[in-house]
Chain A
């Protein structure tokens, strides 16, 4: 700010706070509604503080539907997001090292191909992929959601590459003189130095997989296999009478892992977005 006077400062902070409240009001409203009694959700819709605080909605919502509780849905989501994340990060780190540090024939071509895939609409892939997974009898298993993650993800490969490129080459060279092979350099020199990039990639991978809706929608048709996002959609089915209190309660729970990541690792997320420009 060029002109630092007090009046402008006050206006500025009032403006930013008002915008902030507008931005998070819907979320606060949903959290508050989840603790309201049924009648109050609609009767006292405008108030953020529940007239009568209750956790009944959470108890009811947790029961789920079709004899499957949300414990199962959360377990499924953690399995898919957890294993998927481990697979993505390990494979992406290996590939990133190969692209960033080993001068091999055809490297530029493959790297360009990889960057092109970032702009590819997923629609041109999902139909043949579906047919393929169907032929493998992988419908109603977690495999279609997990297995592809073990082949690296262009976003994370690029993110980790950016980080590796910032490391001094002398480290690699010194290790090579000491007789370390490429894998030794990767394991002993590179991996320990790129921890921040690995953390950022893990956080994004976990949260994207946790949020993913289309994948589970295509491949999981049994309630016992539903992930949280798919279960929520069925739980809030507009054609049936919706218990909004319970829906809000489970919606709030579904956001908690992502919110925890946000609270504890905000720096990694915001820096990850800023340095690579990946979508949030």
Chain B
């Protein structure tokens, strides 16, 4: 038996070695390194210089950094709930697995598939541009359009709409969850005279709550990391209202080569994301329903 165990240990590590080596080189080492860089001034050309908590103090005073925090939080806490509510609503309408619903599912999923691309970001910039599609349609019905991307109140909403437009992937996850809820529960509830709304709040939501938790966590994490769309569509303008965290970090690290400062920013982001992930997990015992202890 010990011979077999020994062999299993060797073979096990052999098989996972690609990931294990990659984990140390491309993940663990960079995380530790960025923590140390966060206490230095480093511009790539000259060696890093230790400045203690200098970068962290700068974070407290940097107005643009505060703007980027505000923009990011605003985006995450509007785009994520809107996207999830939309995804759930549409998933419920698509629940019966028929030929028609599978076609609709495909159509609604398409924007999610291409939404992260540069092509769609460029398209979005055109659609909301001064001479863009939206203003053209508005003009035809007699409304004077505005500069959607240049107006500090509307610019971030073009990005939020882009995010909601891509509700397809959480929709698919909700759909898979919905179809696993036993039909017998609904039948029993109907016999007992429960109305559709009661069925929704007493059966659908509790049965779906683990999937909602999963979607919520994944969407929050992704929401904090959005980069490409803001970089191409608004570039952070106007007045930093769309200066998302990743965008400002990119500007600091790779345009100003202020790598120590950017590393401190990256670590704060790590803490923010860890905090919200943990919050979602911790709160889950109050609202997530697990059918049984197994699984």
Listed in ascending order, the chain A residues whose CB lies under 8 Å from chain B are 1-2, 12-13, 15-16, 19-20, 23-24, 26-27, 29-30, 42, 45-46, 91-92, 94-95, 97-99, 102-105, 107, 110, 113-114, 117, 119-132, 134, 148, 150-152, 154, 157, 181-183, 186, 207, 211, 213-214, 218, 228-230, 232-233, 236, 238, 244, 247-248, 251-252, 254-255, 258-259, 262, 266, 269-270, 273-275, 277, 279-280
Contact = CB atoms under 8 A, between A and B. Distances in A.
A166 to B, nearest CB: 14
Q: Is the interface of B mostly helix, strand, loop or mixed?
A: helix
Contacts of A122: 225
A2 B29 contact: no
Interface of B: 8-9, 11-16, 18-23, 25-27, 29-31, 33-34, 37, 44, 90, 93, 96, 100, 104-114, 116-120, 122-127, 131, 133, 136-137, 140, 165-166, 168-169, 172-173, 175-176, 186, 190, 196, 214-215, 217-218, 221-222, 224-225, 227-228, 231-232, 245-246, 249-250, 253-254, 259, 262-263, 265-267, 269-270, 273-274, 277
Contacts of A274: 172-173, 175-176
Given A102-B11, A131-B259, A30 B123 contact: yes
Given A121-B225, A124-B263, A255-B114, 20 more contacts: A16-B104, A20-B108, A26-B133, A45-B136, A98-B11, A107-B12, A121-B224, A123-B225, A124-B267, A127-B37, A128-B263, A129-B26, A129-B30, A130-B253, A211-B117, A214-B250, A233-B118, A255-B117, A262-B113, A280-B168
Contacts of B21: 151
Given A270-B172, A277-B218, A152 B19 contact: yes
Given A46-B136, A148-B22, A125 B34 contact: yes
A2 B190 contact: yes
Given A46-B140, A279-B222, A26 B107 contact: no
B114 A27 contact: yes
Contacts of A247: 122
Contacts of B190: 2
Contacts of A45: 133, 136
A199 to B, nearest CB: 16
Contacts of B122: 232-233, 236, 247, 251
B253 A127 contact: yes
